[in-house]
Structure 1
Amino acid sequence: MDIVDARGLDCPKPVIKTKETVEKGCRSFAVWVDNEVASANVTRFLENRGFLVNKEYGETSIVLEAKLNTKDAVIRPERKGSLGLLLTSDKIGADSDGLGKVLMKSYLGTLVQSEKPPTAIALMNDAVKMAVTGSSEFDYLCELSDRGSLILVCGACTKHFGITDDVKVGIISNMFEITEAIFGPTKTTVVG
């Protein structure tokens, strides 16, 4: 069985190494990672491509055994839609006496009311702080998620700010998945 040793690699390298193995045509292999975020990212990537994934904990790693499900393979379709949104801050523009935060909250509130919410919303840099309970934008992100928007929260960013365990809306994600989700829709907008 092929082994992808992705321990000690920064996001999104575990997913990229796994993708390379899938592209070589491997139908059964193991991926070794050393943290839960990498485990979740790799598992989601594999499941979206029709693999069954079994997770086991070792002494120094998490072992993900992947096997292509040829019997009942259901490859999830790409998310196609009208708008991919990349938020890079929890403010819009310069934060002149709190105006930037007010504008961001208003922007998200307006998106909630829109007829077609964004297909995907990626939170990076300071924007990841909005995915934490108690942020003024949190409820709007929850509503957008409930309306079908895929909320992706940059795992490297949450790790940097020490808030990974505090994120309560969306999926802790990686640059590879964020790039695919944001540039899949017809139109991409960057705010922040």
Structure 2
Amino acid sequence: MVIEIDARGLGCPKPVINTKKELDKIDQGVVITTVDNEIAKENILKLAKSLNLESKVIKQEKDLICIEIIKGENVIIEQDKSLELEDKCIFISSDKMGKGNDELGNVLIRGFIYTLTESKPYPKSILLVNGGVRLSTENEDTIENLKILEEAGVEILSCGTCLDYYGVKEKLQVGSVTNMYTIVDTMKNSSQTISI
């Protein structure tokens, strides 16, 4: 069975959601999703990886990218990079910590990210949204410490819509770009979400 999805022109996270819906309907088969941009392609490949399914780009031209996902055959089972990760998600929505003085808030968030590197077990994932995406793009202190966490297996995810809004997508230095579907899914599947 081959299911084809045309997700060109759809905003984030619709290409991922539409692909996931079709994958949920079948026990075995192939889903081919066509998108028109790199971010949608990467998000669909990440979806397949998160479901332990084999995926690959089978066609790529300007504004036309086809991703094939195979379900029920050649299943890929990946193990976590680290056994020291705790099933927790850290949700950071600002490049400052707390309300009041912004300068103090900058110092506190840098201290918080550094302290995470010194506190094991590490969380499984860190989600950066709204102003929080500056921590993975512009703040050298936090970028350095987020890289330490990423190397240990922590998933660092920055909201693509937020990166676009602030005009910093090209400055992303650690982790990967994500979408609202993955943000919600990560939070739902974590035993605890801690909001900063």
State if a TM-score over 0.5 links the two structures. Answer: yes
2:67 to 55, 64, 78: 64
Identity across the alignment (%): 29
Distance verdict in 2 for CA 1:16–1:112, change over 3 Å: same
1:37 corresponds in structure 2 to 39
2:10 corresponds in structure 1 to 9
1:142 to 143, 147, 155: 147
1:176 corresponds in structure 2 to 181
1:158 corresponds in structure 2 to 163
Structure with more contact order per residue of length (Cα contacts < 8 Å, sep ≥ 6): 1
Amino acid at match of 2:64: S
Q: Identify the range of structure 1 (42-51 vs 31-40) with the bigger mean alpha-carbon deviation.
A: 42-51
In 1, the alpha carbon distance for the partners of 2:10 and 2:42 equals 14
Q: Identify the range of structure 1 (98-107 vs 152-161) with the bigger mean alpha-carbon deviation.
A: 152-161
In 2, the alpha carbon distance for the partners of 1:42 and 1:34 equals 12
* CA deviation map 1:52-87 (0-9, x unaligned): 3234213432111223361x3124579983421000
Give SS of 1:31's match. strand
**Are the equivalent residues in 2 in contact too, given 1:48–1:75 (CA < 8 A)?**
no
2:22 is equivalent to residue 21 of structure 1: yes
Give SS of 1:126's match. helix
1:117 corresponds in structure 2 to 122
- Name the count of aligned residue pairs: 190
2:95 is equivalent to residue 94 of structure 1: no
Which structure 2 residues correspond to residues 49-60 of structure 1 after superposition, within 5 A?
49=51, 50-60=53-63
2:64 is equivalent to residue 84 of structure 1: no
Give SS of 1:4's match. strand
**Are the equivalent residues in 1 in contact too, given 2:23–2:71 (CA < 8 A)?**
no
Give SS of 1:19's match. helix
Amino acid at match of 2:162: C
- The gaps in structure 2 that reach 5 residues or longer are none
- The gaps in structure 1 that reach 5 residues or longer are none
Distance verdict in 2 for CA 1:78–1:149, change over 3 Å: closer
Amino acid at match of 1:5: D
More strand per residue: 1 or 2? 2
Q: Identify the range of structure 1 (39-48 vs 78-87) with the bigger mean alpha-carbon deviation.
A: 78-87
In 2, the alpha carbon distance for the partners of 1:69 and 1:82 equals 27
